[in-house]
Amino acid sequence: MFDLVSGNSMIQLMDHSLTLASQRQTLIASNLANIDTPGYRTRDFSFEGALQAALSEDAGQQSPTSLARTNPLHLQGTASSTLPATTDPVRPDSERNDGNDVSLDRENMLMARTQMAYQNASNFMQLELRKMYFLIRESVAH
């Protein structure tokens, strides 16, 4: 049987984008939750860098933490729940006397950007799946 979903590079790209956007939203929410914690340092990762690393990993070889495919119909996934490595250190605009460097404005801006990236990836994935549905429906009708 031909696997339409896991062989589609657009769906794979959007899957990686959705996963990374979700991880980044979690990280930003953690930063915001610790806005009043003395000594807390802002954590972040480069969304673009992590996406490029995930794509080059897929192109090269399978990840050592990838899940076993026990059925050819299973989608590829990874068991990694860790965040991508921080590629660019966060340089805070200011730091309070208690050592906390979380900026509400910066985190809100990053959350809005990340939400847009998630929504765009979701929309592109839906379009691609609709195309596949249309092709399947048309081939069954003929």
pLDDT digits (tens, 9 = 90+) for 65-108: 455 666 666 655 544 456 565 545 566 667 788 889 899 999 99
pLDDT at 86: 56
pLDDT at 69: 64
Q: What does pLDDT average to over the chain? A: 79
pLDDT at 1: 39
Most confident of 2-16, 23-37, 70-84: 23-37
The neighbouring-strand residues paired with 78 are 66
Q: Given pLDDT bands bounded at 50, 70 and 90, which one contains residue 63?
A: very low
pLDDT at 96: 82
Residue 99 and residue 38 in contact, taking contact as beta carbons nearer than 8 Å: yes
